[in-house]
Structure formats: C-alpha cells, structure tokens
Amino acid sequence: KQEVTQIPAALSVPEGENLVLNCSFTDSAIYNLQWFRQDPGKGLTSLLLIQSSQREQTSGRLNASLDKSSGRSTLYIAASQPGDSATYLCAVRRSSNTGKLIFGQGTTLQVKP
Amino acid sequence: EAGVAQSPRYKIIEKRQSVAFWCNPISGHATLYWYQQILGQGPKLLIQFQNNGVVDDSQLPKDRFSAERLKGVDSTLKIQPAKLEDSAVYLCASSFGTSMSGELFFGEGSRLTVL
C-alpha cells in the first residue's frame, strides 16, 4: 500500500530564505508526482507535475525534483516571500490506468516579513 | 478559462441530517473526482468518474454516501445520514480527456460541519 509522508508538518522561515520541502513515498512504482499549494479555506492549486521519467521540473522560483529509486521528492522555493505562506501537498499517482492521487498530509509554511 | 465550480462553499448540519454538494468541472474535462479532506490531513479519493461512468469508488462509504454524474458533466455528492466524522472539506477535481494521466484541477471545496 502506497503511503506518502511530508516532513516537517510545519515550517517558519524569514523572508528571503531559500527552503526545501520534503516528500517521501513507500512504493517507488509511481507514474507521476504532483505538488500542490493550498491556501486557508481554499482548494488546491497545482504547482508542478513530474512524470516518473523526469528528474525535475521548474516554474519560476519553484523547483521540484524526483528520485524514484529512493522514494523521494523535494520542492525547492527560492527567495521566499510572505505570499508563499500556505500548505504544500505532494501527491503520487500509481499508474497511467488510474487517476487516483495518494496525498501526503502537507507542510504548512509561514514566511515572516 | 473557468475553473472547477463547487457549491455550497459552507454547510452546517446536525448529525443524521442529509446534505448534497454540487460540482461543475472545467469544460471538456471528461474525468471528475470527489476527494474528502479532513482537517490536518491530505485529501482522500472518494469516487472517480470518467464521463458518466464510475471508475473507482472503493473508498466511498456506500452506506451513507452516494454520487452521480448523469450527463457526464456536473456531479452531485450526497451524504445521508451524516455522522460527526463526516466533517471535512469535500473537494471536486477534474482532468482533461479520458487519459488517466492528466493533471488534476481542483475547485475551492465545500466545507461541511456536522454538529
């Protein structure tokens, strides 16, 4: 059974700092991995999607990496801003035959001005 | 492009009452999902539709939850009777075409409080 874990559960950093959020999964046989952002009381916004054949994806100040063999993904946020404060969730898809995502519990990030 | 629409945004009911949530996916998206997100946890898939057919409802508590997508467009999720542990945010998501590998787009969710 696939399990997804995100550590730490919460993180507080000063503005301008570079930071890394971690995501680990127990079954390396995944199809893709997706990082989402969730603001309080809101739905999920997709940030980056990495196919299993890819090593990383970049969008602006965000960079996500994937190491299938070790069951790990990281989300790197450069030059953090107060507007980055939110909960970040990672989710894995097992295969192309299913649309089901298995989510981690999320990391709540606070960026202090 | 309009996003995934959900209503109502908030609902408070007493236990044993019933509630229904509505979702309209992004136009042209064939696949629709309902997820349940309990406070402090990641979302959990309840049911997945492809057009108007059910693909996966293995984690749907069928004794009290039901969902339909009659015309392959919008969908309704119903809970009857509600329990305290059903308090959660119910998220609807959709993805393009019939491919299972497409990126998911989520609505803002319907927050249910059961008293």
- Chain B: nearest CA to A52, how far in angstroms? 11
**In the structure, how many helices (H) and strands (E) does chain B have?**
0, 11
| pLDDT > 70 in chain B, percent | 95
CB B62: neighbour CB atoms within 10 A?
Answer: 10
In tens, the pLDDT along A50-97 reads 999 999 999 999 999 999 999 999 999 999 999 999 999 999 998 777
Helices (H), chain A: none
Are B48 and B77 in contact by the 8 Å Cβ rule? The answer is: no
- Which residue of B4, B41, B104 is in closest CB contact with A101? B104
Q: State how far the Cα of A87 lies from the Cα of A40, in Å rounded to an integer.
A: 8
Give the chain A residue whose CA is nearest to the CA of B32.
Answer: A99
- What pLDDT is stored for residue B70 in this prediction? 80
- What pLDDT is stored for residue B100 in this prediction? 55
- Asked if B48 lies within 8 A of A100 by C-beta distance, the reply is yes
Q: State how far the Cα of A111 lies from the Cα of A82, in Å rounded to an integer.
A: 5
In tens, the pLDDT along B31-81 reads 999 999 999 899 999 999 988 899 999 999 999 999 999 888 999 999 999
Are B42 and A104 in contact by the 8 Å Cβ rule? The answer is: yes
* Residue A64: half-sphere exposure toward Cβ, Cα within 13 Å: 25
pLDDT tier, A47 (very low <50, low <70, confident <90, very high otherwise): very high
In tens, the pLDDT along B28-43 reads 898 999 999 999 899 9
